[in-house]
Chains A and B, each alone.
Chain A
């Protein structure tokens, strides 16, 4: 298998995730797009781990998974807090800091 197959797949998933982060208005959907981005990064890490024959990439992929789990927990708690305060999780409605 070519190394570039996996790298291209990672790049495509990354760009789809970036599109989702920019376009989506619902905060939960933005968090899902961030998960897409983190997974594409993991595919890259594992591809280079196999290419170099070293376990460093797999170690960092595990750390990325753990950090992503923590990020989702905090992110959803924040979304819940925003929903409780403003009864909406539309990111366009959060404009109190606009001068």
Chain B
């Protein structure tokens, strides 16, 4: 009984956060102000971190906050600042044929929703299974997934060097 009430609370939390995320995402792709788009993206990323906690992945949620909200958003705001002098609303951010994008997105959405409904139906997430701990996660990263981890460190190194080479004035 108690766990059922807890799940109701989780469901209410899920739908509130999901509604905020969808509104924020729509504002990211429709707003006419680049800085506002970046700030709405913060809302979406924070909501995603909250959903990760609901999905019992607290380490990924903390990483999301540190990497996305901490680092990536600063990069976006710097990019906005360096590539335009004007901070404010602009009229020239969208393509002329926006209805093509709308049609593609809606068709994709309908196809995916139908496929997901047919594929998973009313399947429930396990509520009382042993959760994946951070220790398990680190055992995964430094055990069976060590080779991708190495490859990833080279990707990050290449990205850092590439960004320096590309953005350098000479």
Given A6-B51, A18-B108, A19-B105, check contact A46 B28 (CB 8 Å). Answer: no
Q: Establish whether residues B116 and A7, one from each chain, have CB atoms under 8 Å apart when the complex forms.
A: yes
State the CA gap A1–B127 with chains docked (Å).
Answer: 8
Q: Establish whether residues B48 and A31, one from each chain, have CB atoms under 8 Å apart when the complex forms.
A: no
Q: Establish whether residues A77 and B28, one from each chain, have CB atoms under 8 Å apart when the complex forms.
A: no
Q: Establish whether residues B167 and A4, one from each chain, have CB atoms under 8 Å apart when the complex forms.
A: no
Q: Establish whether residues B124 and A2, one from each chain, have CB atoms under 8 Å apart when the complex forms.
A: yes
Q: Establish whether residues A7 and B156, one from each chain, have CB atoms under 8 Å apart when the complex forms.
A: no
State the CA gap A57–B75 with chains docked (Å).
Answer: 27
Q: Establish whether residues A39 and B130, one from each chain, have CB atoms under 8 Å apart when the complex forms.
A: no
Q: Establish whether residues B71 and A69, one from each chain, have CB atoms under 8 Å apart when the complex forms.
A: yes
B window 2-18: CB within 8 A of A: 7, 10-11, 14, 18
What's the dominant secondary structure at chain B's contact region?
helix
Pick the contact of B104: A18, A65, A72 (CB < 8 A).
Answer: A18
B30–chain A nearest beta-carbon distance, Å: 9
Report the count of interface residues on B (CB-CB < 8 A): 87
B77–chain A nearest beta-carbon distance, Å: 10
The yes or no answer to A73 lying at the interface (CB within 8 A) is yes
Q: Establish whether residues A3 and B120, one from each chain, have CB atoms under 8 Å apart when the complex forms.
A: yes
Q: Establish whether residues B105 and A32, one from each chain, have CB atoms under 8 Å apart when the complex forms.
A: no
B window 133-167: CB within 8 A of A: 136-137, 139-141, 145, 148-149, 152, 155-156, 158-160, 162-163, 166-167
| Closest 5 pairs (CB-CB, A-B) | A22-B101, A20-B29, A70-B159, A19-B105, A23-B101
Query: 9 additional contacts, CB 8 Å, given A2-B122, A58-B60?
Result: A6-B51, A9-B51, A14-B112, A18-B105, A23-B29, A39-B44, A69-B159, A76-B163, A79-B79
